[in-house]
Amino acid sequence: MINKSKMRQAALNLIYAVEENGGELSRFDLNLFWRISLEKETDHYRVALCKAIAHVARATADTARLLAVRTAAVAEAMRGDLTAEKLVNEVERVQRRSSEFESALAAMRYCARDPRQDTTDKLEICCKEVINLAIAVDGLGRDLLPTFADFPAYHSVLEPLKSAIKRRNKLMMTVAALANPLELEGQQEFTGLLRCARVLQQLRPAAEQFALAVLSKKTQLEERLSALLQNYSTARLDVVDRCILYIALYELEYNKLDTPIVVSEANALADTYSGGKSAPFIHGIISAAAAAKA
């Protein structure tokens, strides 16, 4: 469930942006707005994903070395055996992909530490590369293992390689699972990543639905606000204050929230986006609206 306060903040930003662009929602680019508005949340998600990958891959070097050693042993044992040539090629293919994974992982770690990065765009590319290679290594290993049974004469070298591939694949599967962090529910080590993923998934639809609902009642809210201001035009209000009051009056009139909750949330928005001087004014308007309603 998305945090209600965060949802209100995002909705306020959208309502404010629409108002600043003439109030014409039909001419407003929602996709562009959210791409910009969610940059901070996107950055948090990418950093959390990088940390999760680095965490689960902390033992990758050991499994990579073991796979390399046992791949070399198989290649040496089967050298010159034409019937085993295809198997050797496939084994070495797994090894090459495994090495590519290690290189991509190192690049991701370097990118995460690089102070010259202004955005996390490159970090996202690095994370995706690591995950895609993990999926590839796991898939190649799974396809390869059943073919070992066709070469009983090489059991002594294939069995250790089989064990190494299984160990490697177990790690690859864990990394690959990070491609869908919302499916990691209940795994405590990924709580931070899951939280960031939820925000990215839920914040836009929740905030957009709420903001559009407020804007759909703008005429009624404007009339209500005008009556409460008493000889003071709504056009003279600061745009942020007016948008906060739209939200507060909507929640009071249409969502039927209790006055203390509406006041508290409106004050929080005012403190964050409009400054402390606006909070008492907004509080007074909401209190007057609640008294008139009663």
**How do the pLDDT tens digits run along the chain, 294 residues long?**
788 999 999 999 999 999 998 878 888 899 999 999 999 999 999 999 999 999 999 989 999 999 999 999 999 999 999 999 999 999 999 999 999 999 999 999 999 998 887 789 999 999 999 999 999 999 999 999 999 999 999 999 999 999 999 999 999 999 999 999 999 988 889 999 999 999 999 999 999 999 999 999 999 999 999 888 877 777 788 899 999 999 999 999 999 999 899 989 998 998 888 876 788 888 888 888 888 776
Q: Which residue among 179, 195, 228 closes a domain?
A: 179
- 170 SS3 class: helix
**pLDDT at residue 289, as a whole number:** 86
CATH of residue 85's domain is: 1.20.120
Q: Are 74 and 103 within one domain?
A: yes
Q: Is residue 187 in a domain?
A: no
CATH of residue 278's domain is: 1.10.940.10
263 and 272 Cβ atoms separated by less than 8 Å: no
- Least Cα distance to 67 among 193, 189, 168 occurs for 168
Q: Are 160 and 127 within one domain?
A: yes
Q: Are 85 and 18 within one domain?
A: no
Q: Are 25 and 69 within one domain?
A: no
Q: Is residue 189 in a domain?
A: no
**pLDDT at residue 22, as a whole number:** 82
Q: Is residue 171 in a domain?
A: yes
Q: Are 54 and 164 within one domain?
A: yes
In the chain, the number of structural domains is 2
**pLDDT at residue 294, as a whole number:** 61
What's the CA gap between 228 and 222, in Å, rounded?
10
Q: Are 170 and 230 within one domain?
A: no
Q: Is residue 99 in a domain?
A: yes
Residue 126 is encoded by which pair of tokens? 């690095």
Q: Are 48 and 159 within one domain?
A: yes
Q: Are 218 and 278 within one domain?
A: yes
Q: Is residue 212 in a domain?
A: yes
39 and 15 Cβ atoms separated by less than 8 Å: no
Q: Is residue 11 in a domain?
A: yes
**pLDDT at residue 142, as a whole number:** 96
Q: Are 256 and 127 within one domain?
A: no
pTM of the shown model: 0.86
- 119 SS3 class: coil
Q: Are 130 and 9 within one domain?
A: no
Q: Is residue 17 in a domain?
A: yes
Q: Which domain holds residue 90?
A: 41-179
Q: Are 23 and 53 within one domain?
A: no
Q: Are 23 and 147 within one domain?
A: no
Q: Is residue 194 in a domain?
A: no
The residues near 277 (Cβ < 8 Å, ≥ 6 apart) are none
